[in-house]
Structure 1
Protein backbone atom coordinates (compact mmCIF):
# COMPACT_ATOMS: atom_id res chain seq x y z
CA UNK A 1 0.00 0.00 0.00
CA UNK A 2 1.36 3.41 -0.94
CA UNK A 3 1.46 6.31 1.46
CA UNK A 4 2.30 10.00 1.29
CA UNK A 5 5.25 11.86 2.75
CA UNK A 6 4.40 15.32 4.00
CA UNK A 7 7.38 17.54 4.64
CA UNK A 8 7.62 20.94 6.25
CA UNK A 9 10.80 22.62 5.03
CA UNK A 10 11.70 24.88 7.94
CA UNK A 11 15.10 26.36 7.06
CA UNK A 12 18.59 25.95 5.64
CA UNK A 13 21.63 27.27 7.50
CA UNK A 14 25.36 27.85 6.94
CA UNK A 15 25.15 27.07 3.21
CA UNK A 16 28.17 27.16 0.94
CA UNK A 17 28.35 30.49 -0.91
CA UNK A 18 28.07 29.72 -4.64
CA UNK A 19 26.91 33.09 -5.93
CA UNK A 20 29.65 34.95 -7.85
CA UNK A 21 27.89 38.32 -7.53
CA UNK A 22 25.52 39.08 -4.67
CA UNK A 23 24.00 36.47 -2.36
CA UNK A 24 22.62 32.94 -2.79
CA UNK A 25 19.02 32.64 -4.04
CA UNK A 26 18.40 29.14 -2.62
CA UNK A 27 15.49 26.76 -2.96
CA UNK A 28 15.00 23.20 -1.70
CA UNK A 29 13.79 20.25 -3.74
CA UNK A 30 12.82 16.78 -2.51
CA UNK A 31 12.11 13.36 -3.99
CA UNK A 32 12.19 9.66 -3.19
CA UNK A 33 12.94 8.78 -6.84
CA UNK A 34 15.99 10.44 -8.44
CA UNK A 35 15.24 8.85 -11.82
CA UNK A 36 11.80 10.48 -12.10
CA UNK A 37 12.19 14.19 -12.89
CA UNK A 38 8.50 14.90 -12.33
CA UNK A 39 8.65 13.50 -8.78
CA UNK A 40 10.65 16.45 -7.38
CA UNK A 41 8.76 18.92 -5.21
CA UNK A 42 10.24 22.40 -4.75
CA UNK A 43 10.00 25.28 -2.32
CA UNK A 44 9.90 28.88 -3.44
CA UNK A 45 13.18 30.70 -4.14
CA UNK A 46 14.49 32.94 -1.36
CA UNK A 47 16.06 35.87 -3.20
CA UNK A 48 19.31 37.24 -1.78
CA UNK A 49 18.97 35.01 1.30
CA UNK A 50 22.69 34.25 1.36
CA UNK A 51 23.82 31.38 3.57
CA UNK A 52 20.61 31.08 5.64
CA UNK A 53 16.97 30.94 4.51
CA UNK A 54 13.62 30.40 6.25
CA UNK A 55 10.85 28.60 4.35
CA UNK A 56 8.13 27.07 6.57
CA UNK A 57 6.66 25.50 3.42
CA UNK A 58 4.68 22.26 3.11
CA UNK A 59 5.53 19.78 0.32
CA UNK A 60 3.82 16.45 -0.35
CA UNK A 61 5.38 13.45 -2.07
CA UNK A 62 2.85 10.87 -3.21
CA UNK A 63 3.21 7.12 -3.76
CA UNK A 64 5.71 6.45 -0.98
CA UNK A 65 6.41 2.73 -0.73
CA UNK A 66 8.37 1.98 2.46
CA UNK A 67 9.65 -1.36 1.13
CA UNK A 68 11.22 0.33 -1.94
CA UNK A 69 11.78 4.01 -1.11
CA UNK A 70 14.67 3.91 1.34
CA UNK A 71 15.65 7.58 1.20
CA UNK A 72 14.26 11.06 1.07
CA UNK A 73 16.66 12.90 -1.24
CA UNK A 74 17.14 16.57 -0.45
CA UNK A 75 18.88 19.08 -2.73
CA UNK A 76 19.48 22.79 -2.20
CA UNK A 77 20.04 24.70 -5.43
CA UNK A 78 20.87 28.24 -6.46
CA UNK A 79 18.22 29.83 -8.66
CA UNK A 80 20.16 31.07 -11.68
CA UNK A 81 19.78 31.96 -15.33
CA UNK A 82 20.18 28.76 -17.36
CA UNK A 83 21.25 25.86 -15.14
CA UNK A 84 20.65 26.02 -11.37
CA UNK A 85 23.89 25.01 -9.65
CA UNK A 86 23.73 22.72 -6.62
CA UNK A 87 24.67 24.20 -3.25
CA UNK A 88 24.19 21.12 -1.09
CA UNK A 89 22.56 17.71 -0.99
CA UNK A 90 21.82 14.85 1.38
CA UNK A 91 19.97 11.52 1.57
CA UNK A 92 17.82 10.93 4.65
CA UNK A 93 17.24 7.23 5.50
CA UNK A 94 13.48 6.88 5.85
CA UNK A 95 13.67 4.22 8.58
CA UNK A 96 14.08 7.15 11.01
CA UNK A 97 10.54 8.22 10.15
CA UNK A 98 8.92 4.81 9.71
CA UNK A 99 10.23 3.75 13.14
CA UNK A 100 9.42 7.07 14.89
CA UNK A 101 6.30 7.47 17.05
CA UNK A 102 3.30 8.36 14.86
CA UNK A 103 5.65 8.14 11.83
CA UNK A 104 6.73 11.72 12.42
CA UNK A 105 10.21 13.23 12.79
CA UNK A 106 11.57 16.76 13.05
CA UNK A 107 15.28 16.90 12.43
CA UNK A 108 18.23 18.98 11.40
CA UNK A 109 20.15 17.14 8.69
CA UNK A 110 23.71 17.54 7.44
CA UNK A 111 24.15 18.86 3.89
CA UNK A 112 27.13 18.01 1.66
CA UNK A 113 28.74 20.12 -1.05
CA UNK A 114 29.03 18.70 -4.59
CA UNK A 115 32.58 17.60 -3.67
CA UNK A 116 31.21 15.67 -0.67
CA UNK A 117 32.31 17.98 2.16
CA UNK A 118 30.01 18.65 5.11
CA UNK A 119 28.66 22.18 4.73
CA UNK A 120 25.36 23.53 6.01
CA UNK A 121 22.17 21.96 7.34
CA UNK A 122 18.49 21.64 6.44
CA UNK A 123 15.73 21.38 9.05
CA UNK A 124 12.62 19.40 8.12
CA UNK A 125 9.53 17.91 9.74
CA UNK A 126 8.68 14.64 7.96
CA UNK A 127 5.38 12.77 8.30
CA UNK A 128 4.22 9.52 6.71
CA UNK A 129 0.45 9.60 6.26
CA UNK A 130 -2.31 7.83 4.35
CA UNK A 131 -2.95 9.36 0.91
CA UNK A 132 -5.06 12.50 1.14
CA UNK A 133 -4.66 12.76 4.91
CA UNK A 134 -3.19 15.85 6.59
CA UNK A 135 -0.07 15.65 8.76
CA UNK A 136 -0.96 15.22 12.43
CA UNK A 137 -0.94 18.39 14.52
CA UNK A 138 1.65 17.28 17.06
CA UNK A 139 4.57 18.97 18.79
CA UNK A 140 7.82 17.35 17.67
CA UNK A 141 11.10 17.51 19.54
CA UNK A 142 13.87 18.49 17.10
CA UNK A 143 16.69 15.93 16.79
CA UNK A 144 19.93 15.64 14.86
CA UNK A 145 18.89 13.39 11.98
CA UNK A 146 20.95 10.71 10.27
CA UNK A 147 22.12 11.31 6.71
CA UNK A 148 24.12 9.51 4.05
CA UNK A 149 25.82 10.24 0.77
CA UNK A 150 24.22 7.91 -1.77
CA UNK A 151 26.44 7.38 -4.84
CA UNK A 152 23.52 7.73 -7.30
CA UNK A 153 22.64 11.17 -5.93
CA UNK A 154 26.30 12.26 -5.67
CA UNK A 155 26.82 11.40 -9.37
CA UNK A 156 23.69 13.37 -10.25
CA UNK A 157 24.97 16.40 -8.30
CA UNK A 158 28.44 16.15 -9.89
CA UNK A 159 26.81 16.07 -13.35
CA UNK A 160 24.74 19.14 -12.48
CA UNK A 161 27.91 20.93 -11.34
CA UNK A 162 29.75 19.98 -14.56
CA UNK A 163 26.81 21.14 -16.71
CA UNK A 164 26.73 24.43 -14.81
CA UNK A 165 30.44 24.99 -15.53
CA UNK A 166 29.93 24.21 -19.23
CA UNK A 167 26.97 26.60 -19.25
CA UNK A 168 29.09 29.32 -17.59
CA UNK A 169 31.87 28.88 -20.16
CA UNK A 170 29.35 29.01 -23.02
CA UNK A 171 27.72 32.13 -21.59
CA UNK A 172 31.12 33.81 -21.14
CA UNK A 173 32.11 32.91 -24.72
CA UNK A 174 28.82 34.34 -26.02
CA UNK A 175 29.37 37.59 -24.11
CA UNK A 176 32.97 37.88 -25.34
CA UNK A 177 31.83 37.11 -28.88
CA UNK A 178 29.16 39.80 -28.69
CA UNK A 179 31.64 42.32 -27.29
CA UNK A 180 34.20 41.47 -29.99
CA UNK A 181 31.54 41.83 -32.71
CA UNK A 182 30.42 45.17 -31.28
CA UNK A 183 34.02 46.42 -31.19
CA UNK A 184 34.60 45.40 -34.82
CA UNK A 185 31.46 47.23 -35.91
CA UNK A 186 32.48 50.27 -33.87
CA UNK A 187 36.00 50.24 -35.37
CA UNK A 188 34.58 49.85 -38.89
CA UNK A 189 32.31 52.86 -38.38
CA UNK A 190 35.33 55.01 -37.45
CA UNK A 191 37.36 54.21 -40.59
CA UNK A 192 37.50 57.15 -43.01
CA UNK A 193 35.44 56.59 -46.09
CA UNK A 194 37.17 56.86 -49.48
CA UNK A 195 35.91 59.85 -51.42
CA UNK A 196 36.27 59.48 -55.16
CA UNK A 197 37.11 62.57 -57.20
Structure 2
Protein backbone atom coordinates (compact mmCIF):
# COMPACT_ATOMS: atom_id res chain seq x y z
CA UNK A 1 0.00 0.00 0.00
CA UNK A 2 1.19 3.48 -0.90
CA UNK A 3 0.50 6.91 0.60
CA UNK A 4 -1.71 9.22 -1.45
CA UNK A 5 -1.89 12.92 -0.65
CA UNK A 6 -5.18 14.57 -1.68
CA UNK A 7 -5.51 18.36 -1.54
CA UNK A 8 -8.89 20.08 -1.97
CA UNK A 9 -8.27 23.48 -3.58
CA UNK A 10 -11.64 24.86 -4.64
CA UNK A 11 -15.15 24.25 -5.94
CA UNK A 12 -17.25 26.12 -8.48
CA UNK A 13 -20.79 26.18 -9.89
CA UNK A 14 -22.15 24.25 -6.90
CA UNK A 15 -25.89 23.71 -7.00
CA UNK A 16 -27.61 25.85 -4.39
CA UNK A 17 -29.32 23.71 -1.80
CA UNK A 18 -30.83 26.56 0.24
CA UNK A 19 -33.10 27.97 -2.47
CA UNK A 20 -32.52 30.87 -4.85
CA UNK A 21 -31.58 33.39 -2.16
CA UNK A 22 -29.80 31.11 0.31
CA UNK A 23 -26.07 30.49 0.19
CA UNK A 24 -24.37 27.15 0.53
CA UNK A 25 -22.09 26.26 3.42
CA UNK A 26 -20.16 23.58 1.50
CA UNK A 27 -17.66 21.02 2.67
CA UNK A 28 -16.08 18.03 0.93
CA UNK A 29 -15.84 14.47 2.23
CA UNK A 30 -13.19 12.19 0.73
CA UNK A 31 -13.09 8.43 1.24
CA UNK A 32 -11.24 5.34 0.05
CA UNK A 33 -12.24 1.77 0.86
CA UNK A 34 -15.35 0.19 2.32
CA UNK A 35 -16.85 -0.78 5.64
CA UNK A 36 -14.19 -1.81 8.17
CA UNK A 37 -11.18 -0.49 6.24
CA UNK A 38 -12.75 2.77 5.04
CA UNK A 39 -10.56 5.87 5.30
CA UNK A 40 -12.45 9.15 5.45
CA UNK A 41 -11.52 12.84 5.69
CA UNK A 42 -13.58 16.03 5.65
CA UNK A 43 -12.69 19.65 4.83
CA UNK A 44 -13.70 22.62 6.94
CA UNK A 45 -17.10 24.15 6.16
CA UNK A 46 -16.95 27.29 4.00
CA UNK A 47 -19.76 29.54 5.31
CA UNK A 48 -22.05 31.57 3.00
CA UNK A 49 -20.23 30.56 -0.18
CA UNK A 50 -21.18 31.68 -3.68
CA UNK A 51 -19.36 31.40 -7.01
CA UNK A 52 -15.90 29.89 -6.60
CA UNK A 53 -15.40 28.41 -3.14
CA UNK A 54 -11.79 28.35 -1.95
CA UNK A 55 -10.81 25.68 0.51
CA UNK A 56 -7.66 26.36 2.48
CA UNK A 57 -5.66 23.86 0.43
CA UNK A 58 -6.39 21.19 2.99
CA UNK A 59 -4.15 18.13 2.42
CA UNK A 60 -5.35 14.68 3.47
CA UNK A 61 -3.24 11.53 3.56
CA UNK A 62 -4.65 8.13 2.55
CA UNK A 63 -3.21 4.65 2.16
CA UNK A 64 -4.16 3.45 -1.33
CA UNK A 65 -3.38 1.11 -4.20
CA UNK A 66 -3.85 1.58 -7.97
CA UNK A 67 -7.14 -0.35 -8.14
CA UNK A 68 -8.78 1.85 -5.44
CA UNK A 69 -11.16 4.71 -6.14
CA UNK A 70 -11.46 8.02 -4.33
CA UNK A 71 -15.05 8.95 -3.50
CA UNK A 72 -15.67 12.71 -3.43
CA UNK A 73 -18.90 13.96 -1.85
CA UNK A 74 -19.94 17.60 -1.51
CA UNK A 75 -22.42 18.63 1.17
CA UNK A 76 -24.15 21.81 2.32
CA UNK A 77 -23.81 22.16 6.11
CA UNK A 78 -27.20 22.78 7.78
CA UNK A 79 -28.38 22.87 11.38
CA UNK A 80 -30.62 19.81 11.27
CA UNK A 81 -29.48 17.68 8.34
CA UNK A 82 -26.75 18.38 5.78
CA UNK A 83 -27.85 18.52 2.14
CA UNK A 84 -26.11 16.26 -0.36
CA UNK A 85 -25.00 18.49 -3.25
CA UNK A 86 -23.43 15.69 -5.27
CA UNK A 87 -20.61 13.18 -5.63
CA UNK A 88 -18.19 11.48 -7.97
CA UNK A 89 -15.81 8.53 -7.91
CA UNK A 90 -12.24 8.90 -9.19
CA UNK A 91 -10.34 5.73 -10.22
CA UNK A 92 -6.76 6.05 -8.95
CA UNK A 93 -4.98 4.02 -11.64
CA UNK A 94 -3.98 7.08 -13.72
CA UNK A 95 -2.80 8.91 -10.59
CA UNK A 96 -0.48 6.02 -9.74
CA UNK A 97 0.79 5.92 -13.34
CA UNK A 98 1.61 9.65 -13.51
CA UNK A 99 2.45 10.21 -9.83
CA UNK A 100 0.63 13.54 -9.71
CA UNK A 101 -2.60 15.01 -11.09
CA UNK A 102 -4.20 18.41 -10.47
CA UNK A 103 -7.54 18.95 -12.20
CA UNK A 104 -11.22 19.79 -11.91
CA UNK A 105 -13.61 16.89 -11.31
CA UNK A 106 -17.27 17.12 -12.21
CA UNK A 107 -19.80 16.45 -9.45
CA UNK A 108 -22.82 14.68 -10.95
CA UNK A 109 -23.45 14.06 -14.66
CA UNK A 110 -25.66 15.44 -17.40
CA UNK A 111 -28.90 16.82 -15.95
CA UNK A 112 -27.57 15.81 -12.53
CA UNK A 113 -24.55 18.17 -12.87
CA UNK A 114 -23.96 19.78 -9.44
CA UNK A 115 -20.66 21.63 -9.91
CA UNK A 116 -16.94 20.90 -9.93
CA UNK A 117 -14.17 20.39 -7.39
CA UNK A 118 -10.48 21.03 -8.02
CA UNK A 119 -8.29 18.36 -6.44
CA UNK A 120 -4.59 17.65 -6.44
CA UNK A 121 -3.61 14.00 -6.03
CA UNK A 122 0.01 13.04 -5.38
CA UNK A 123 1.48 9.58 -4.85
CA UNK A 124 3.98 9.84 -1.99
CA UNK A 125 7.31 8.04 -2.46
CA UNK A 126 7.85 5.21 0.02
TM-score class normalised by the smaller sequence = 0.7 to 0.9
Q: Which has the higher contact order (CA 8 A, sep 6+)?
A: 2
* Alignment CA distance shift 1:116-1:98 (3 Å): farther
Deviation digits for residues 114-138 of structure 1 (CA, Å, limit 9, x no counterpart): x97123111011011146xxxxxxx
TM-score, normalization by structure 1 = 0.57
Of structures 1 and 2, the larger Rg is shown by: 1
Shift of residue 38, structure 1, vs aligned partner = 6.0
Query: 1:125 corresponds to which residue?
Result: 120
Structure 2, unaligned stretches of length 5 or more? none
Moved over 3 A (4+): 34-38
Query: 1:30 corresponds to which residue?
Result: 30
Instruction: Report the number of matched residues.
Output: 124
Higher strand share: 2
Q: Is the 8 A contact 1:97 1:105 kept in 2?
A: yes
Query: 2:60 corresponds to which residue?
Result: 59
TM-score, normalization by structure 2 = 0.86
Q: Does 1:12 align with 2:11?
A: yes
Shift of residue 31, structure 1, vs aligned partner = 0.8
Counterparts of 1:94 and 1:3, CA distance in 2: 12
Counterparts of 2:9 and 2:123, CA distance in 1: 17
Structure 1, unaligned stretches of length 5 or more? 132-197
3-state SS in 2 of match to 1:8: strand
